[in-house]
């Protein structure tokens, strides 16, 4: 059953006199519970696609449906509330708010969504525990390592039991061992909770752990069910 | 749910606020408004605890930044508070001085009487009774005021004139009594042969209780001298400060004896009760009606002093100083607001990517705005309090400095330093409000950013040329400016007219960019705005006040900055070429100018602050230069070039006196001494002598016998004289030497109605009027 669907999605960036067509008419469906990797050479539009699908950026044209609700028809507050309730985010950098501790960061989406604070704290502590960071719960991000920060981010992304978790290069800044741990963690949570994961990555090993690889090239979909070997060859060549 | 809560909160706030403002007296209402606002924010924060927590942590995030923000936010409040406190002090000085001079009296009444201002008590008795019958008139008491020469027999010190008051017990109580120097109150007139003197006089003549004082006055052709014992030295407040002079108080009969006028009085003090003092118009009119009643018209009495009017006039006379202060205050406040905006824009920029992230995970725009409002709230609470206190200190420093620089006739404003809780509260409120409003303005921009651009920390693109919204805003501002200008023109008021015009020309930037692009549009707007403010350009033929200065500063700095900012690239390259910068230095200059030019908005704001500061300093130094040039000239004129001017009661040999007074002046330092004889007679000026004067009038003058030494050694510039008779000043001085019927009159003693051919006036003691008795 499709949880994410988009039709003829385009995105054009205009800066001064320069125009970049980052997405040139994407049609795409992702099923509930899938763990999908979006791969492709640098600049092909992966991040742009993820941002548009998750509603943190506006597409230039086309339609997006999440859980059968049309995202492209919502106003800013509706989109924001929808994100808060149904989506989780993991980016490569700058994920955490520096003034909040690990557990406070994790509980933030819950508090924004109006969950009572003791309930939110309980859930956040469970999640921090689930990502293996109980002993660092009251630290601020500045005193956490890169891997620890990404784990807190994942805990936060899962806090409101979202239907979809969007991850843009979640392991891009990590060494191989930590990266493996993070992907294994996501895979486990995906299996246990049946949540949908959409992961943008350059890393073939990350791609290999996913159910499916969406192969992008030049703002288009090259292959909706790509092969790790093909994509990595192309990335090596171009990017 | 959250929305409903907010709506309910705001509704409750508005209702409570309106109720408070409508029912409570001003000060309580303001306090209530402040407390309600604090409560509103706190109640709102309670529903957004995580935001409040983040805001508070943001406040203390980096001590350096926190200190900068605190200092910046404080400026505005401190200036407002200082302005208000300075105003309070001036007001207390004026009211204080007037109160001392009037005691409990609200009106002084006098008249020509039998030509010398004198009345027999019996003649004015019924009219006085009529006054006492008026509602809200507390008392009406006659007394006698005269001037006399005075000498303290103990200290041998003397003055040519002091004011002598002859009082009845009724007048003493009616005028508010005396306060003796040791703090007790005195409600009775001294017994015959005894006097009170006020501190002003006592300190001049070294008088202490028990001293014997000689008073000398002229009565007809006779010189009457009385020796009297000082019973008390009274403070210069209430009756002791009567009409602000060096005063001697005695019983009425003795005073009448001194001037040889049995039963004579010449001044009537009328005191109002409290309510009429606060709003004296009706009671004053009733008094006027009595004075103008047919049976009283022959007395020719008129109001000679009016407490309320004097206070009003005093306030007017310091309003120039206050408005000058207001101008610099306004500049500082505007600069302060720009600083607040700049600081919070900077904070916003700094936290851009984390705010973008917060937005991505579900924070609404409103949440971000709240985050900043809470942060601003915490800052505002603290800085407004500190700012009000700093303003108080600032005001104290200013007042002390003014007191040291300006000698207002022996009056030291520093003694009147005061502040009302109202002023501090208003300053606090204004600072709080300014901070919150400025911050709210900034948060709109921050919260409207694009999430992705925020996370990636890339600047928001400029509005494209074709942007219709910008054009519409421009058109709206243009229309607003036009409306303001038309309103100003119909009221013939310069501020709104020119302000409206400048708003219109500035809005051209927004309007024209659609057709001409940013650079050309804003250059046109800037230059067009600058034009009407150029010296010599007059567009509206109206009079402007000091607020024009503020408008000029703001518009000129804005316009100039606009032109510079939008032409920065050609300007930088022009400078580079002009300085023939080569190679490595070129790169340095390029880099140095690139950073400030990258975020033009912030750079423009910083430069705006500098611009205002420089504008203020320039005009301030110009004005002080103009003032400064006047002071030495004034000293030169009033001193006549002499270093010491001394008076003595007894004809003495000055050389001996100086040799005897060891340590005061070294005789070796004295080049020359000019001795003059001086007396304090009363002059009667007859109408035939003064064209334009209808009644003979009496004036107490110091008559100075001039010797050639005075004008040979010193120089007292004369202002006007008959130049056909006396070609030079020297001739005038010679003429009064040779012709006893000629005098030189001092400009400051000029009676107002003595004007006309042959008589002209100059300001400053000892500058002269040639006075022909022929
Ligand atoms: N804010 C922007 N303004 C202008 N052009 C942009 C912007 N963001 C992205 N682009 C352009 O759009 C295209 C797609 O960018 P995008 O970031 O989606 O690529 P990507 O596939 O994520 O690349 P990478 O693997 O390097 O992260 C690129 O050519 C990029 O230069
Ligand atoms: Mg990317």
CB B161 within 8 Å of CB B702: yes
Q: How many cross-chain Cβ pairs, A to B, lie less than 8 Å apart?
A: 81
- Which residue carries 């402040």 as its tokens? B34
- Cβ neighbourhood burial of B569 (10 Å; 0-12, 13-18, 19+): exposed
- Single out the residue of B422, B446, B440, B430 nearest to residue B377, CA to CA: B440
Task: Check if the beta carbon of residue B764 is closer than 8 Å to that of residue B637.
Answer: yes
> Which residues in chain B have Cβ-Cβ distances shorter than 8 Å to A51?
451-452
B450 within 8 A of A14, measured Cβ to Cβ: no
Q: Does A113 touch chain B (CB under 8 A)?
A: yes
According to the model, what pLDDT value does residue B582 have? Answer: 63
Q: Tell me, what's the pLDDT at B545? A: 73
Q: Which of B362, B451, B452 sits opposite A113 (nearest CB)?
A: B362
Which residue's CA is minimally distant from atom 25 of ligand 1?
A42
Q: Identify whether the C-beta of residue B162 lies closer than 8 Å to the C-beta of residue B248.
A: yes
Give the gap in angstroms from C-alpha A229 to the nearest C-alpha of chain B: 31
- Confidence band for B342, pLDDT divided at 50, 70 and 90: confident
Predicted local distance difference test score (pLDDT) of residue B739: 74
Judged by a CB distance cut-off of 8 A, whether residue B61 touches chain A is yes
Q: From the list B49, B57, B362, which residue is nearest A80 (CB)? A: B362
Q: Inspect the interface and report whether the beta carbons of A84 and B361 lie closer than 8 Å.
A: yes
Residue B745 CA neighbour count, 13 Å, CB half = 26
Q: Answer whether residue B570 shows pLDDT above 50.
A: yes
Cβ-based neighbour number of residue B298 at 10 Å: 8
Say which residue, B367 or B469, is predicted with more confidence: B367
Of all residues in chain A, the percent with pLDDT exceeding 90 is 57
CA dist B567 and A172 (Å) reads 43
Q: What is the pLDDT of residue A46?
A: 94
Q: Are B677 and B604 in contact (CB under 8 A)?
A: no
Cα(B56)–Cα(A85) distance, rounded to whole angstroms? 26
Contacts 24+ apart (CB under 8 A), B482-488: B488/B540
Q: What does the block give as tokens for B90?
A: 């001036």
Tens of pLDDT, residue by residue over B14-53, are 898 888 888 888 888 888 888 888 898 899 888 888 899 9
Length of chain B measured in residues: 774
Q: What integer pLDDT is reported at residue B723 of this predicted model?
A: 74
Quick one: which atom of ligand 1 is closest to the CA of A41? 25
pLDDT more than 70, % of chain A: 98
- Closest residue in A to B453 (Cα) is A57
How many Cα atoms sit within 13 Å of B663 on the Cβ side? 0
Confidence check: pLDDT of B749 > 50? no
Distance CA(B215)–CA(B240), nearest Å, equals 18
Which residues span the domain enclosing A18?
2-238
Distance of CA B660 to the CA centre of its chain: 45
Which of A17, A56, A71, A150 to mutate to probe the B interface, most B CBs <10 Å? A56
State the CB neighbour count (10 A cutoff) for residue A40: 29
The pair of structure tokens assigned to B326 is 């207001």
CB contact under 8 A, B361 and A104: no
Per-residue pLDDT tens digits for A86-134: 999 998 876 899 999 999 999 999 988 888 989 999 999 998 988 888 9
pLDDT of residue B330: 78
Give residue A37 CA to ligand 1 midpoint distance, Å: 18
pLDDT at B761 over 70: no
Closest residue by CA, ligand 1 atom 18? A45
Contacts of A94 in chain B (CB under 8 A): 353-354, 357, 455
Q: Parallel, antiparallel, or unpaired: how do β-strands B212-219 and B194-198 relate?
A: unpaired
CA distance A74 to B41: 30
- How buried is B574 (Cβ within 10 angstroms: 0-12 exposed, 13-18 middle, 19+ buried)? exposed
Burial profile B50-80: b = 16 or more Cβ within 10 angstroms, e = fewer? bbbbbbbbbbebeeebeeebbbbbbbbbbbb
Tokens 């000629």 belong to B742
Q: Are A174 and A150 in contact (CB under 8 A)?
A: yes
The whole-angstrom distance between residue A8's C-alpha and the CA centroid of its chain comes to 21
Residue B691 has what pLDDT?
Answer: 52
Say if residue B773's pLDDT is above 70: no
Q: What is the pLDDT of residue B30?
A: 83
> What confidence score (pLDDT) does residue A125 get?
94
Round to whole Å and give the CA distance between A5 and A63. Answer: 8
- pLDDT at B756 (0 to 100): 36
Distance CA A73, CA B283 (A): 74
pLDDT at A173 over 90: no
Q: Kindly provide the residue ranges of all beta strands, DSSP E only, lying in B632-687, ordered along the sequence.
A: 677-679, 682-685
In 3D, which of B486, B143, B655, B553 has the Cα closest to residue B328? B553
pTM of this structure: 0.71
Grade residue A201 by pLDDT with cuts at 50, 70 and 90. Answer: very high
Ligand 1 pocket residue status of A22, Cβ below 6 Å: yes
Q: Assign B714 to helix, strand or coil.
A: coil
Using a CB–CB cutoff of 8 Å, tell me whether A12 touches chain B: no
SS3 track for B450-519: CHHHHHHCCCCCCCCCCCHHHHHHHHHHHHHHHHHHHHHHHCCCHHHHHHHHHHHHHHHHHHHHHHHCHH
Q: From the CB of A131, is ligand 1 less than 6 Å away?
A: no
Alpha carbons B370 and B41: distance in angstroms, whole number: 9
User: Which residue has better confidence, A29 or B174?
Assistant: A29
| Closest CB to A97 among B54, B364, B367 | B54
Helix or strand (DSSP H, E) at B719: strand B718-720
Closest CA to B111 of B267, B241, B318: B267
Domain ranges (residues) in chain B: 112-300, 674-773
- Quick one: pLDDT band at residue A199, thresholds 50, 70, 90? very high
Give me the number of domains chain A comprises. Answer: 1
Choose among B2, B61, B361: nearest Cβ to A108: B361
| CA distance, residue B516 to nearest chain A CA (Å) | 16
Tokens standing for residue B129: 């009774």
Q: Please, which residues bridge with residue A39 across strands?
A: A215
Least confident segment among A116-125, B563-572, B573-582: B573-582
Which of B362, B364, B449, B467 should be substituted to probe chain A, the one whose Cβ sees the most A Cβ atoms within 10 Å?
A: B362
Looking at the predicted structure, is the pLDDT value of residue A239 above 70? no
pLDDT, averaged across chain B: 77
Average pLDDT value for residue range B341-358: 84
pLDDT digits (tens, 9 = 90+) for B724-745: 777 777 887 887 777 766 777 6
Helix runs in B60-112, H state only: 63-102
The closest residue, in CA terms, to atom 16 on ligand 1 is: A45
B25: burial class by Cβ within 10 Å (0-12, 13-18, 19+)? exposed
Q: Taking 80 as the threshold, does the pLDDT of residue B591 lie above it?
A: no
- Measured CA to CA, the distance from residue A50 to residue A23 in angstroms comes to 11
Q: Contact A98/B354, CB-based, under 8 Å?
A: yes
> Could you report the per-residue pLDDT of B680-719, keeping only the tens digit for each?
544 555 555 555 555 555 455 566 777 777 777 777 777 6
Over residues B322-337, the pLDDT tens digits come to 777 777 777 777 877 8
Higher-confidence position of A48 and B279: A48
- The residue among A99, A108, A109, A164 with the most chain B CBs within 10 A of its CB, best to mutate, is A99
Both tokens of B164, joined, read 């002598």
Which residue's alpha carbon is nearest to atom 22 within ligand 1? A47
The chain A residue lying nearest B450, using CA atoms, is A57
Name the nearest CA neighbour of A190 among A213, A217, A158.
A158
Condensed to tens digits (0 to 9), the pLDDT of residues A136-158 reads: 999 999 999 988 998 899 899 98
Alpha-carbon gap, residue B651 to B647, rounded angstroms: 10
Contact B263, B255 (CB under 8 A): no
CB of A47 within 6 A of ligand 1: the answer is: yes
B1, B360, B366 ranked by CB distance to A89: nearest: B360
Return the number of other C-beta atoms located less than 10 Å from residue A124's C-beta: 26
CB-ligand 1 contact for A20 (6 Å cutoff): yes
Binary contact (B360, A108; C-beta < 8 A): no
Q: Is A55 in the pocket of ligand 1 (CB under 6 A)?
A: no
- Substitution target from A48, A97, A116, A150 for chain B, most B beta carbons within 10 A: A97
pLDDT value for B766: 31
What is the reported pLDDT for A66?
94
Helices (H), B292-364: 307-350, 352-360
The neighbouring-strand residues paired with B151 are B158, B214
Residue nearest to atom 24 of ligand 1 (CA): A42
Instruction: Give the model confidence (pLDDT) of B642-656 as tens digits.
Output: 777 766 555 566 666
Out of A46, A49, A198, mutate this one to test ligand 1's pocket (max ligand atoms within 8 Å of CB): namely: A46
Tell me if chain A has a CB within 8 Å of the CB of B507: no
Asked if residue A230 has pLDDT above 90, the reply is: no
pLDDT digits (tens, 9 = 90+) for B89-102: 888 888 887 777 78
Closest CA to B398 of B767, B108, B699, B82: B82
Q: What pLDDT is recorded for position B768?
A: 35
pLDDT for B340: 79
Nearest CA in chain A to B365: A77
* pLDDT for the residue B675: 75
Neighbours of ion ligand 2 (CB under 5 A): A 47
> Is residue B600 over pLDDT 80?
no
Question: Which of B201-210, B521-530, B747-756 is least confident?
Answer: B747-756
pLDDT at B193 over 70: yes
Is A163 in the B-facing interface, judged by CB distances under 8 Å? no
Q: What are the tens digits of pLDDT across the range B103-152?
A: 778 888 887 766 677 788 788 778 888 878 888 888 888 888 888 888 88
CATH assignment at residue A9: 3.40.50.300
Query: In this complex, do B2 and A114 lie within 8 Å of one another by their Cβ atoms?
Result: yes
The Å distance, Cα A23 to ligand 1 centre, comes to: 10
Extract the tokens encoding B167.
């009082």
Cross-chain residue pair A99–B358, CB shorter than 8 Å: no
Query: Looking at the complex, does the CB of residue B359 fall below 8 Å from at least one CB of chain A?
Result: yes
User: What are the tens digits of pLDDT across the range A27-44?
Assistant: 999 999 999 999 999 999
The whole-number pLDDT of residue B593 equals 67
Residue B307 Cα to ligand 1 middle (Å) = 79
Q: In this structure, what token pair is assigned to residue B203?
A: 């300190």
Residue with tokens 């696609």: A49
pLDDT reading at B762 higher than 50: no
**Nearest Cα to Cα of residue B329 among B72, B550, B545, B494:** B550
How far is C-alpha A48 from the chain's CA centre?
Answer: 12
For ligand 1, atom 31, name the residue with the nearest CA: A43
């Amino acid at each position: 059953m499709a949880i994410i669907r988009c039709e003829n999605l385009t995105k054009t960036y205009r800066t001064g006199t320069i125009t970049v067509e980052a997405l040139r008419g994407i049609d795409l469906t992702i099923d509930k519970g899938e763990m999908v990797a979006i791969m492709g050479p640098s600049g092909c539009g992966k991040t742009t696609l993820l941002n548009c699908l998750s509603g943190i950026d506006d597409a230039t044209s086309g339609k997006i449906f999440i859980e059968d609700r049309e995202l492209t028809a919502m106003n800013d507050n509706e989109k924001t509330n929808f994100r808060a309730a149904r989506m989780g985010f993991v980016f490569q950098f700058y994920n955490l708010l520096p003034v909040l501790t690990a557990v406070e960061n994790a509980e933030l989406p819950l508090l924004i969504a109006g969950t009572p604070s003791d309930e939110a704290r309980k859930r956040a502590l469970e999640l921090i525990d689930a990502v293996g960071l109980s002993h660092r719960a009251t630290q601020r991000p500045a005193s956490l390592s890169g891997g620890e920060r990404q784990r807190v981010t994942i805990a936060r992304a899962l806090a409101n039991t979202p239907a979809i978790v969007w991850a843009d290069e979640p392991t891009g800044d990590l060494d191989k061992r930590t990266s493996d741990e993070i992907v294994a963690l996501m895979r486990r949570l995906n299996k246990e909770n049946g949540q949908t994961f959409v992961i943008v990555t350059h890393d073939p090993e990350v791609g290999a752990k996913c159910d499916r690889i969406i192969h992008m090239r030049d703002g288009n979909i090259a292959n909706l069910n790509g092969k790790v070997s093909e994509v990595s060859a192309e990335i090596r060549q171009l990017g | 749910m959250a929305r409903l809560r907010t709506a309910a909160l705001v509704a409750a706030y508005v209702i409570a606020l309106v109720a408070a403002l409508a029912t409570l007296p001003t000060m309580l209402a303001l306090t209530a408004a402040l407390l309600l606002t604090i409560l509103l924010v706190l109640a709102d924060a309670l529903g957004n605890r995580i935001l409040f927590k983040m805001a508070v942590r943001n406040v203390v995030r980096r001590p350096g930044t926190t200190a900068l923000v605190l200092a910046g936010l404080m400026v505005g409040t401190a200036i407002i508070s200082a302005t208000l406190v300075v105003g309070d002090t001036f007001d207390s000085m004026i009211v204080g001085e007037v109160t001392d001079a009037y005691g409990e009296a609200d009106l002084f009444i006098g008249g020509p009487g039998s030509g010398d201002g004198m009345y027999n008590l019996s003649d004015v008795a019924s009219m006085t009774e009529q006054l006492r019958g008026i509602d809200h008139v507390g008392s009406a008491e006659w007394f006698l005021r005269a001037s006399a020469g005075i000498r303290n027999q103990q200290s041998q010190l003397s003055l040519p004139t002091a004011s002598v008051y002859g009082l009845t017990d009724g007048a003493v109580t009616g005028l508010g009594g005396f306060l003796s120097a040791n703090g007790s109150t005195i409600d009775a007139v001294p017994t015959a042969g005894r006097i009170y003197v006020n501190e002003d006089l006592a300190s001049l003549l070294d008088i202490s209780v028990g001293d014997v004082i000689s008073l000398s006055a002229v009565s007809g052709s006779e010189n009457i001298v009385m020796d009297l014992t000082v019973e008390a030295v009274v403070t210069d407040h209430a009756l002791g400060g009567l009409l602000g002079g060096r005063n001697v108080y005695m019983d009425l009969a003795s005073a009448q004896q001194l001037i040889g006028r049995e039963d004579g009085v010449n001044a009537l003090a009328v005191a109002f009760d409290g309510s009429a003092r606060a709003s004296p118009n009706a009671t004053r009119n009733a008094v006027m009606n009595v004075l103008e009643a047919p049976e009283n018209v022959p007395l020719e009495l008129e109001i000679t002093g009016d407490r309320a009017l004097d206070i009003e006039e005093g306030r007017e006379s310091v309003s120039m100083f206050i408005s000058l202060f207001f101008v610099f205050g306004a500049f500082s406040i505007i600069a302060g607001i720009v600083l607040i905006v700049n600081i919070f824009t900077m904070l916003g920029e700094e936290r851009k990517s984390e705010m973008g992230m917060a937005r991505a995970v579900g924070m609404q725009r409103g949440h971000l705005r709240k985050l900043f409002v809470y942060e601003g709230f915490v800052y505002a609470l603290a800085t407004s309090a500190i700012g009000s206190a700093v303003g108080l200190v600032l005001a104290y420093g200013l007042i002390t400095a003014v007191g040291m620089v300006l000698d207002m006739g022996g009056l030291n404003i520093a003694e009147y330093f005061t502040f009302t809780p109202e002023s501090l509260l208003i300053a606090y409120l204004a600072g709080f409000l300014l901070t919150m409003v400025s911050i709210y303005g900034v948060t709109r921009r921050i919260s409207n950013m694009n999430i992705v651009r925020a996370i990636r920390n890339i600047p928001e693109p400029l509005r494209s040329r074709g942007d219709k919204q910008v054009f519409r805003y421009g058109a709206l501002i243009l229309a607003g400016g036009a409306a303001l200008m038309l309103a100003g023109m119909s009221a013939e008021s310069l501020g709104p007219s020119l302000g409206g015009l400048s708003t219109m020309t500035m809005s051209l930037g927004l309007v024209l960019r659609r057709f001409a692009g940013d650079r050309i549009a804003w250059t046109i707007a800037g230059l067009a705005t600058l034009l009407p403010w150029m010296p010599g350009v007059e567009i509206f033929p109206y009079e402007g006040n000091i607020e024009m200065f503020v408008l000029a500063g703001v518009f000129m700095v804005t316009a100039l900055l606009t032109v510079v900012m939008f032409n920065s690239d050609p300007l930088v390259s022009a400078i580079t070429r002009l300085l023939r910068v080569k190679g490595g230095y070129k790169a340095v200059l390029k880099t140095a100018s690139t950073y400030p030019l990258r975020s033009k908005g912030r750079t423009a704001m910083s430069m705006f602050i500098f611009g205002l500061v420089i504008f203020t300093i320039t005009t301030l130094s110009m004005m002080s230069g103009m003032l400064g040039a006047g002071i030495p000239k004034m000293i030169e004129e009033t001193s006549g070039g002499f270093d010491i001017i001394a008076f003595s009661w007894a004809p003495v040999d000055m050389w001996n006196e100086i040799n005897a007074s060891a340590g005061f002046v070294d005789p070796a330092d004295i080049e020359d001494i000019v001795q003059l004889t001086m007396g304090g007679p009363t002059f009667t000026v007859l109408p035939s002598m003064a064209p334009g004067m209808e009644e003979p009038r009496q004036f107490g003058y110091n008559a100075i016998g001039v010797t050639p030494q005075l004008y040979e050694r010193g120089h007292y510039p004369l202002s006007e004289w008959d130049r056909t008779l006396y070609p030079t000043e020297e001739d005038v001085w010679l003429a009064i030497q040779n012709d006893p019927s000629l005098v030189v009159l001092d400009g400051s003693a000029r009676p107002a109605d003595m004007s006309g051919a042959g008589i002209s006036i100059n300001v400053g003691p000892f500058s002269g009027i040639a006075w022909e008795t022929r």
